[in-house]
Structure 1
């Protein structure tokens, strides 16, 4: 009996067991290849260059040498530019100095012109008053107002800071405006000195050559004392025209003279007073006649100005 040909049995090939993370292929790829190919290639290139290139110490020395060459180049260029600009700067400085000299000379010339014009005005005023019979009164008014130069006997008083006077201190019982150095002469000290001389009979007073009038002001600007807005420096020399001996005695016995002695005893401010036989005081600058009225004699004769 014939039967059908018998086929060999089919043998199945055993398969490998699947990985437990087979379903997480993306995460597995990231974990297995965490470094990007481009980064890996660059790292390999750098490694090969380091192994086959210049040593690190040599490269560092070459970099340092290049930096020094660059710095030297910058310094050289700066020096060259400075040498080029130096003549221009010197020329501009000299031009500025010349301009200051010219302006100073022009200012001095104007001051001389003002003095000449003032003298001419005073001469014309005296001449006009002499024609109206008021010459003596005009001279007296000019002396008292400070518009004319005066000379005669009087008192010379020198007031100076204490020897140890400085710019610092811990407190000043005679000063309430914030100054701390008790050894310095203050503006109010000079005010009391000048007012005391006037009250003691002085006919004319000047401080460091600055003539005082009824409109003069003695004030402070920092540590400086200003007389009619002009700064003065110590020692302060006060000249007072009058009866010298009597003026000296009355001033030293006055409250202002005693105040000056207290400053000398308590704070070391230096003072010296002497009687002089002849003192010369200049005229006060920029005195302007604001009002005028005729005298009794001029009123009778119908003469005078207003």
Structure 2
């Protein structure tokens, strides 16, 4: 208590108090005493006030100019955004027209009774029917593995994340189990579809996907589910669940609807030339 009382009674250090008293006694403290010093102080105050006034006046004059430039920039951004939206709409229309022409060419080239089968296998038409829904997701708490872990790479050090080659095995396993059509997150897969990685994202035909990854496969649902889970790729997925916490659920669905592939590349085969052969 005595320490607190002393601090409250002597809030100013004795040394500071002594210095202040000495300056007062010498006449060097407080306001200027001489006329010259007073005039200098007054001139400094006037100069400071002048600088503040000029700055405020310049800011007031420049404010409308800045506001005008800002509005012009906003108008330019809005104009360029509208132009980009128009171009994007045009691209979408042209892409739809190209896709429609490709599908028409594919149907024409198929010919005969096999046209519908060609359309189905190529992904040129939307399909629906029974099948399975397989949802694959990252682990709840993904952790980084050691350098000896085979799942660790420079791009994907997180072993609890689903990778592109994991989805490749899942899709290939469904095809091998008898799937007639497959899609991932609404993206229809064809024989020419590519599943790859770009940084930490999984791309399907150059379009990034966001987990969870919902895989729909049309086919005999029960047989498709059993065959896939008992196959090598189904067991691989089960190992990912057990070892890395990756989540996966599979269910049989009575009616699935898969869209047509966004773009179907039409390729035709030509008979091999017999020239130069013996």
- The TM-score normalised by the length of structure 2 is 0.74
Shift of 1:120: 4.7
Secondary structure class of the residue paired with 1:195: helix
1:185 and 1:65 map into 2 onto residues whose CA distance is 71
Match of 2:79 among 94, 98, 101: 98
Aligned residues of 1:171 and 1:181 also touching (Cα < 8 A) = no
Shift of 1:79: 5.4
2:91 and 2:194 map into 1 onto residues whose CA distance is 25
Pick closer, same or farther for the CA change 1:60–1:213 going to 2, 3 Å.
farther
Identify which of structures 1 and 2 has the higher relative contact order when contacts are C-alpha pairs closer than 8 Å and 6+ apart.
2
How many residue pairs were aligned? 237
Cα RMSD for the two superposed structures: 2.8
Greater Rg, structure 1 or structure 2? 1
For residue 7 of structure 2, what is the aligned residue in structure 1? none
Pick closer, same or farther for the CA change 1:223–1:72 going to 2, 3 Å.
farther
Shift of 1:293: 5.2
The C-alpha deviation readout for 1:22-69, integer Å capped at 9, x for no partner, is xxxxxxxxxxxxxxxxxxxxxxxxxxxxx98622x8746754663464
Shift of 1:241: 1.2
Bigger mean CA offset, 173-182 vs 242-251: 173-182
For residue 257 of structure 2, what is the aligned residue in structure 1? 280
1:162 and 1:74 map into 2 onto residues whose CA distance is 59
Aligned residues of 1:129 and 1:135 also touching (Cα < 8 A) = no
1:241 and 1:140 map into 2 onto residues whose CA distance is 14
1:240 and 1:211 map into 2 onto residues whose CA distance is 10
Q: 5+ residue gaps in structure 2?
A: 1-32, 272-278
2:46 and 2:138 map into 1 onto residues whose CA distance is 64
Shift of 1:183: 2.0
Pick closer, same or farther for the CA change 1:64–1:164 going to 2, 3 Å.
farther
2:39 and 2:223 map into 1 onto residues whose CA distance is 98
For residue 36 of structure 2, what is the aligned residue in structure 1? 54
1:154 and 1:71 map into 2 onto residues whose CA distance is 78
Secondary structure class of the residue paired with 1:122: helix
Q: 5+ residue gaps in structure 1?
A: 1-50, 295-306
1:108 and 1:228 map into 2 onto residues whose CA distance is 21
